[in-house]
């Protein structure tokens, strides 16, 4: 069920629970600003999610309210994860779903990293 990108943050969402260690994830990387883990239902050979550690519902919420340090940390974290996964030379795709038209289902900002194979058209 797509969520409203402007809704208040709900700290019972599944990614908040992963951040608190209440449910497991296949962790790829973690630093002060981000956590990266494998998507539970991969849509490509490699499908990693990167989330900021702060309580932000969506790209809209994050780009409005996050500090410069959080924004820089998140962007650098996404780049770091892709680099460490060996995706720079073959190439990869980033995707953030926002709100109902974007099909966002989890109300904690996340960027999808897809790679490991040619990814085809941008929108099927």
- Active site annotation includes 108: no
Instruction: Give the C-alpha separation, 30 to 51, whole Å.
Output: 10
Of the ranges 50-58, 83-91, 100-108, 114-122, which one interacts with ligand AMP (CB under 6 A)? 100-108
Q: For ligand AMP, which is the closer residue by CB, 66 or 113?
A: 113
Tell me how far, at minimum, the Cβ of 86 lies from ligand AMP, in Å: 21
Candidates 14, 28, 75, 119: give the one binding ligand AMP (CB under 6 A). Answer: 14
Considering only residues 7, 10, 22, 40, which one is a binding residue for ligand AMP as defined by CB under 6 A? 40
Q: In what order do the strands lie in the sheet with 111-115?
A: 27-30, 34-38, 46-52, 111-115, 93-95
DSSP state of 66: S
Query: Smallest distance, Å, CB 89 to ligand AMP?
Result: 25
Which of 33, 108, 110, 112 is catalytic? The answer is 110
Residues 107 and 7: beta-carbon distance below 8 Å:
yes
Cα dist from 43 to 7, 38, 40, 76, 93, whole Å: 27, 11, 9, 23, 12
- Contacting positions for ligand AMP (CB under 6 A): 14, 25, 37, 39-41, 49, 97, 103-106
């Amino acid at each position: 069920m797509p969520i409203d990108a402007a809704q208040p943050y709900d700290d019972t969402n599944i990614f908040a629970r992963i951040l608190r260690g209440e449910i497991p994830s296949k962790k790829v990387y973690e630093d002060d600003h981000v956590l990266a883990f494998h998507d539970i239902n991969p849509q490509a050979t490699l499908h990693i999610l990167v989330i900021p550690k702060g309580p932000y519902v969506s790209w809209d919420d994050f780009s409005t309210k996050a500090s410069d340090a959080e924004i820089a940390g998140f962007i650098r974290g996404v780049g770091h994860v892709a680099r460490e996964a060996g995706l720079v030379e073959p190439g990869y795709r980033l995707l953030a779903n926002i709100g109902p038209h974007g099909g966002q289902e989890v109300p904690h900002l996340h960027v999808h990293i897809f790679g490991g194979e040619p990814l085809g058209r941008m929108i099927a």
